């Protein structure tokens, strides 16, 4: 399937459902309008009633409307399609409507399904396509055999086409002004808890979680000493919790947390520097994509994280297995 495009037409049951609803509505609408507006009385008063009776005319109009409905509903169902290539997923609607790109195929992280009771019995549903570009899924509606198409789409994901982390990062001030993105995450501190006003080792987890997510996706940077809103807080609060109150002491604690929670074998994938922004020293930890899955261990629990949009999320065992199959190659 990787050599050509995958075309997904809407389920035929959608045509039947739409037709049934509209036919039900328009079967009664002409009669109701006729009674409400007194059309028969006005028509009978004209000379045309001598040639064509009102009942015959009403039947002809109703039949014509029903035929028109069938044609329009068929076009509404038949023309749209989802076209999946190794580069993108596109909604093609035909006619005057331009094709619309929905997602980049190589950015797909995993695919879920949503089905109602009727859809499960008739084997169609909505595919929820999650990508590293956004936290919200792209929805492919009314797809027949959704489980089969989910596998076919996943088979078209080529990780080698995914954009890699930038070889040269923008200046830290520019990263901060751009806000949190697919490639940038802010953390106020490594271990200083601003709310409790004391050292809190549980704060290692959100820092390491995001680094693991970046390594499992396309890379990115965690800026420590920067609040969620972009305010530069600096590392001084963290320094005050250290025996060696400087960047060397900070990096020692960082390495200890990293090696414990992620693993020393992955430490070479993260570059750590201490730039000064707005007169305050911060930590810039930039992760490169890993060639093998990276897991986070916290409080005895191992989790697999990926980056989706400007957030990092963990995947269940089954979803992680599918993601790893798509994005990591042996050897």
Write out pLDDT tens, residues 141-165.
999 999 899 888 888 876 655 555 4
The pLDDT score that the predictor gives to residue 162 is: 57
Helix (H) or strand (E) holding 204: helix 204-216
Whether residue 190 contacts residue 224, with contact meaning beta carbons closer than 8 Å, is answered with yes
Residue 284: pLDDT band by 50, 70, 90 thresholds? very high
The reply to whether CATH 3.40.50.300 applies to domain 164-327 is no
- Cα 302 from chain centre: 24
What residue segments make up the domains of the chain, in order of their start? 8-78, 100-160, 164-327
Percent of the chain with pLDDT over 90: 54
Give the C-alpha separation, 315 to 325, whole Å: 13
pLDDT value at 167 more than 80: no
Q: Scanning the structure block, which residue is given the tokens 């730039």?
A: 275
Angle between helices 12-37 and 54-78 (to 10 degrees): 150
> For the chain, what is the mean pLDDT?
87
Question: Looking at residues 80-99, what average pLDDT do you find?
Answer: 89
Give the C-alpha separation, 89 to 5, whole Å: 10
pLDDT value at 2 more than 50: no
Q: Where are the beta strands (DSSP E) in 26-123?
A: 81-84, 88-92, 100-104, 108-114
pLDDT value at 73 more than 70: yes
Of 67, 73, 71, whose CA–CA distance to 21 is shortest? Answer: 73
- Give the range among 41-55, 56-70, 247-261 with minimum mean pLDDT: 41-55
The pLDDT score that the predictor gives to residue 56 is: 78
- Whole-model pTM: value is 0.65
Write out pLDDT tens, residues 259-280.
999 999 999 999 999 999 999 9
- Give the range among 89-93, 108-112, 181-185 with minimum mean pLDDT: 108-112
Helix (H) or strand (E) holding 297: strand 295-298
Residue 48: pLDDT band by 50, 70, 90 thresholds? low
- Residue 278, sorted as left (phi over 0), alpha (psi -120 to 50) or beta, turns out to be left
Q: Is 133 exposed, middle or buried (0-12, 13-18, 19+ CB in 10 A)?
A: middle
Question: Looking at residues 292-296, what average pLDDT do you find?
Answer: 96
pLDDT value at 211 more than 90: yes
The pLDDT score that the predictor gives to residue 194 is: 95
The pLDDT score that the predictor gives to residue 331 is: 42
Give the C-alpha separation, 146 to 316, whole Å: 20
């Amino acid at each position: 399937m990787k050599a050509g495009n995958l075309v997904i037409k809407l389920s035929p049951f959608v045509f039947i459902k739409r037709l049934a609803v509209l036919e039900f509505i328009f079967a009664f609408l002409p009669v109701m309008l006729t009674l409400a507006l007194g059309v028969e009385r006005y028509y009978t008063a004209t000379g045309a009633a001598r040639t064509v009776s009102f009942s015959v005319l009403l039947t002809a109009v109703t039949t014509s409307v029903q035929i028109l409905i069938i044609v329009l509903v068929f076009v509404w169902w038949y023309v749209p399609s989802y076209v999946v290539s190794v580069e993108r997923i596109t909604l093609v609607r035909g006619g005057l409507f331009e094709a619309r790109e929905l997602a980049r195929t190589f950015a797909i992280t995993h695919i879920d399904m949503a089905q109602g009771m009727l859809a499960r019995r008739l084997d169609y549903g909505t595919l929820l396509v999650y990508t590293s570009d956004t936290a919200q899924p792209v929805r492919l509606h009314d797809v027949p055999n959704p489980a089969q198409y989910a596998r076919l789409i996943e088979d078209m994901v080529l990780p080698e086409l995914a954009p890699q982390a930038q070889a040269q990062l923008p200046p830290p001030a520019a990263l901060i002004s751009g806000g949190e993105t697919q490639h940038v995450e802010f953390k106020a501190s490594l271990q200083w808890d601003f709310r409790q006003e004391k050292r809190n080792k549980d704060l290692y987890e959100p820092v390491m979680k995001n680094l693991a997510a970046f390594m499992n996706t396309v890379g990115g940077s965690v800026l420590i000493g920067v609040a969620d809103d972009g305010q530069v807080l600096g590392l001084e609060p963290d320094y005050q919790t250290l025996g060696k109150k400087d960047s060397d002491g900070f990096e020692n604690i960082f390495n200890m947390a990293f090696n414990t929670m992620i693993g020393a074998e992955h430490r070479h994938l993260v570059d750590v520097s201490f730039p000064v922004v707005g007169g305050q020293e911060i930590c810039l930890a930039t992760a490169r994509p890993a060639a093998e899955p990276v897991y986070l261990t916290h409080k005895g629990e191992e989790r697999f994280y990926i980056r989706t949009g400007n957030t990092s999320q963990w995947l269940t065992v089954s979803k992680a297995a599918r993601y790893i199959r798509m994005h990591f190659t042996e050897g």
